[in-house]
Amino acid sequence: MGDIKQPRLNGGYDGPQQPHLNGGYDGPQPPHLNGGYDGPQQPHLNRGYDGPPQPHLNGGYYGPPQPHLNGGYYGPPIPPPPPKPKRRYKTPGCCCFSCIGSCIGSCLRCCGCCILSLIWNILIAVAVILGITALILWLIFRPNAVKFYVADANLNRFSLDSSNNSNLHYDLDLNFTIRNPNQRLGIYYDVVQVSGYYGDQRFGSVEIAPFYQGHKNTTVVVTKMEGQNLVVLGDGARADLKEDDLTGVYRIDVRLVMSVRFKFWIIKSWKVKPKIRCDDLKIPLGSSNSTSGFKFQTMQCNFDFR
């Protein structure tokens, strides 16, 4: 029986095959032999490395070029900073002396600023002084409203002319009571005008002589309006007049327009023009007692400033 052939005899070796013998090895080539190293592949060996290129190796790097490399910076380019705005420094205050050496226009603007600022400060100071003065005077004198009353009223005649329905004959007596309740305030009545109205139409007026009313004083003023005047009465006013002729009591409005001054000790105020309204006075005809027994009642008037 013949001898059995030994496979893969390497240099007279009759035993089993030795794996990975580099010297004299005639088997398959071991992969990734790097300078005599026959073990598993070592990653990232720069010298003699035959594997795929390693990314981002700056020294000896063989891969594709890296974009935007600015001194070791791998991000997008940084834009330059915006220029800083120039600050304008404004000199404090505004004075004509600072305008010396500048143009005429700048000097005029500066002087105008000074003048306007001075005028504004003066106006504010005057307003504050007047307000404080008014408050002090009010606290000292504590003024109270003057009260006006129609104490008595009587009609001797009040009728339209038979030949002319627009011609009104009137004869009206009015007694006023004026009460000044102020303790330190006197009143100068420079102008006082009393007017009578019927149906919003003025039929007559009379002026009262000027007088002075002291503090804590009650003054009685007697007036008389007499005459005739053309008045234009509407249908409603004519109907009211016919009704008043039947009852003997007439609905008349009285208004007082005046110009007065107030006196605080030795100080006199400027003129003011209050308006007094005595509306819807029911005045009997003939005497204080009408045929129906009606008697005039004292009525307080409304005091108002125009």
User: Going residue by residue through the chain (306 aa), what tens digit of pLDDT does each one get?
Assistant: 444 444 544 455 555 555 544 455 555 655 544 445 555 655 544 455 556 655 554 555 555 655 554 555 556 667 777 777 666 555 554 444 454 455 555 666 666 678 888 888 899 999 999 999 888 877 766 678 899 999 999 999 998 888 878 899 999 999 999 999 988 889 999 999 999 999 889 999 999 999 999 989 999 999 999 999 989 888 888 899 999 989 889 999 999 999 999 888 788 888 999 889 999 999 998 754 445 577 888 999 998 765
Can you give the pLDDT at residue 109? 65
Chain-centroid distance, C-alpha 263? 38
What phi and psi values does residue 235 have, to the nearest 5 degrees? -65, -40
Predicted TM-score (pTM) of the model is 0.55
Q: Nearest Cα to 245, choosing from 284, 281, 199, 200? A: 284
Q: What is the pLDDT of residue 117?
A: 84
Amino acid identity at 156: N
Query: Distance between CA 74 and CA 52 in Å, rounded?
Result: 22
- According to the model, what pLDDT value does residue 4 have? 47
What is residue 246's three-state secondary structure?
helix
CB crowding 223-239: b at 16 or more within 10 Å, else e: bebeebbebebeeeeee
Distant-in-sequence, close-in-space partners of 264: CB < 8 Å, separation ≥ 6: 137, 141, 184, 185
pLDDT of 295: 85
Q: What is the pLDDT of residue 45?
A: 46
**The amino acid at 287:** S
Query: Beta-carbon neighbour count of residue 151 at 10 Å?
Result: 14
Supply angle C-alpha 232, 236, 238, rounded to 5.
55
